[in-house]
Amino acid sequence: MSGGSSCSCCLTSNRPPPLSLFSAMIRAVSRRLFGPLLLLGFVQVALTRRFEVKAGNNTCLLAEFSANFSVSYETIDKKGATVLFSLPDDAKVNPSSNCNNMTAPLLVVSFGNDHSLSMNFSNHGASYKMESLTIACNESDGGLFPNASSPGLLVKTSSSVEISAKVNTTYSCMSDSTVHMENVNVTLSKVRIEAFPPNDDFSKNETICHADVTPTVPTTTLVPTLTPTTPPPSIPVRGKYNVTINNGTCLLAEMGLQLNVTYTTPDNKIAVKVFNIQPGMTISNGNCSSDRAFLQLIDQSTTLNFLFVVNTTTNKFYLKELNVSTSLNLSTKSKEFTAENTNLTYLQTTLGKSYLCLSKQMLKVNQNFSINAFELHVQPFKVDNAKYGTAEECQMDKDDMLIPIIVGAALAGLVLIVLIAYLIGRKRSHAGYQTI
Ligand SMILES: *[C@@H]1O[C@H](CO)[C@@H](O)[C@H](O)[C@H]1NC(C)=O
Ligand SMILES: *[C@@H]1O[C@H](CO)[C@@H](O)[C@H](O)[C@H]1NC(C)=O
Ligand SMILES: *[C@@H]1O[C@H](CO)[C@@H](O)[C@H](O)[C@H]1NC(C)=O
Ligand SMILES: *[C@@H]1O[C@H](CO)[C@@H](O)[C@H](O)[C@H]1NC(C)=O
Ligand SMILES: *[C@@H]1O[C@H](CO)[C@@H](O)[C@H](O)[C@H]1NC(C)=O
Ligand SMILES: *[C@@H]1O[C@H](CO)[C@@H](O)[C@H](O)[C@H]1NC(C)=O
């Protein structure tokens, strides 16, 4: 692609400059007549492109995707306009891309006349994640943004991009996913991304996005049937998972864990798999600082990550992030199941105390995944001498204790009522006998 040509004009603007007025006329006419056609043709040739970010010889990011953009902008005539375009062939990795010491890869893809699409990644121990996606459009580019009233850079960022995967797996999402940023929409599809690929190439193991795994439920007739797989297992054994760093225990945790996974079978049925974490076969890891504590549990093919944080305003800690990856042992597409929620507020407890819930508690992560926790006791911060602080008990435990009290009180009340009724009845009948 010849350098400097703008996105939508790639096919129309490669004309010699001397006939500029004439070519401008042709351009205007051809855009009006053939604009949609040219755009369509252009979209069809748009290929999935591969981008790589390196530090020395180490690759910190590999990305392959196609992207469509829809940008609405202000025009001189105040009517406003919307342009649609695909990531053009001249898209390339901008030198400002960076591995940031192999911790937070940044990919900047530039295209056309100073337009760019950037993706920021972060490393969360066992997983990596796209933190944000930024689009910068050069509205001075009259080829792409005709009659723009505010020439200059239009920059939009979104941090609600649901791209995350386990390390040493390729994030794969063939379905379209659109990131909305006010007047700009970016639709990504045929995405394959891996941060910190171990062999400078995509890992064979994949983390498949929800959109690819969950079937689009047909509106009529073919409602997927629920196939109960195995009978629910027994109550899980309580495990002890403490985190010790620098010879000091910084996180105390004891719990029985039962995982509840809803997934789609290869024949498009929805199945539920409920299984227990076996403490004897589980390896726990983690680390803690004064305001973040991380606990990882690995039981054979299942990895669970818990992130606890502190809200300094309320002086409470809570479980903010939970993610899981587990093998479903299926031969086809949904071999690896992953689920994540980074916006939880579970187990809120005053700093310095511990959270205790003896009752079964369901921690829902998303519609396809939940954890049933049994006899949960946890303290991720301010652990003194490897001992739990005062326990703050969950509402359910309090309710459980309330039930016998209520039942007792109700029974006592009933006895009292019966007694009073009996006494009144006796008095009445006595009175009755007297009148006879
Ligand atoms: C990169 O690899 C080349 C060839 O394998 C080697 O000569 C060079 O020293 C390496 N550079 C770094 C920074 O590791
Ligand atoms: C881009 O948009 C065109 C037209 O709407 C569509 O046919 C094409 O599949 C889209 N491509 C991507 C990568 O979303
Ligand atoms: C934007 O586009 C205009 C016109 O194509 C070009 O002159 C300018 O260098 C581009 N870059 C920026 C940062 O404005
Ligand atoms: C598992 O999750 C499904 C769907 O949320 C739910 O209907 C079912 O009752 C759960 N089973 C257990 C044992 O928690
Ligand atoms: C801390 O808690 C307060 C009160 O519930 C809430 O408004 C605030 O958003 C929380 N801050 C963080 C960082 O979660
Ligand atoms: C998956 O299959 C392997 C080998 O067939 C087996 O050892 C393992 O227990 C299975 N895992 C689950 C979760 O069913």
Q: For 318-337, write each residue's pLDDT tens digit.
A: 999 999 999 886 544 447 88
Position 339 scores a pLDDT of 94
Ligand 4: which residue has its CA nearest to atom 14?
Answer: 260
User: Burial level of 409, CB count in 10 A (0-12/13-18/19+)?
Assistant: exposed
Same fold, 8-17+46-212 and 226-395: yes
pLDDT > 70: what percent of the chain? 81
Angle value at C-alpha 314, between 312 and 317, nearest 5 degrees: 70
pLDDT of residue 23: 39
- Interior/surface letters 171-187, b for 16+ CB within 10 angstroms, e for the rest: bbbebebebebeebbbb
Atom of ligand 3 nearest to the CA of 152: 14
The pLDDT score that the predictor gives to residue 25 is 41
**Spans in the chain with pLDDT lower than 70:** 1-47, 214-232, 329-334, 431-436
Do 231 and 245 form a contact (C-beta atoms < 8 A)?
Answer: no
Ligand 1 binding residues, C-beta < 6 A: 56-57
Residue corresponding to tokens 């998303």: 366
Q: What are phi and psi of 425, to 5 degrees?
A: -60, -45
Cβ 331 under 6 angstroms from ligand 6: no
Does residue 301 have its Cβ closer than 6 Å to ligand 6? yes
Domain assignments of the chain as residue spans, ordered by start: 8-17+46-212, 226-395
Domain 226-395 falls under CATH 3.30.450.20: no
Q: What angle do CA 199, 177, 73 make, to 5 degrees?
A: 115
Nearest ligand to the C-alpha atom of residue 258 = 4
Query: Could you report the per-residue pLDDT of 225-252, keeping only the tens digit for each?
Result: 555 555 667 899 999 999 998 888 999 9
d(CA 175, CA 163): 13
Work out which ligand 5 atom sits closest to the CA atom of 313.
Answer: 1
Pick the CATH number of 8-17+46-212 from 3.30.56.10, 2.30.60.10, 2.40.160.110, 2.40.50.140: 2.40.160.110
Residues with a CB atom less than 6 Å from ligand 3:
113-114, 138, 140-141
pLDDT at 246: 81
Q: pLDDT (tens digit, 9 = 90+) per residue, 98-115? A: 999 888 999 999 999 999
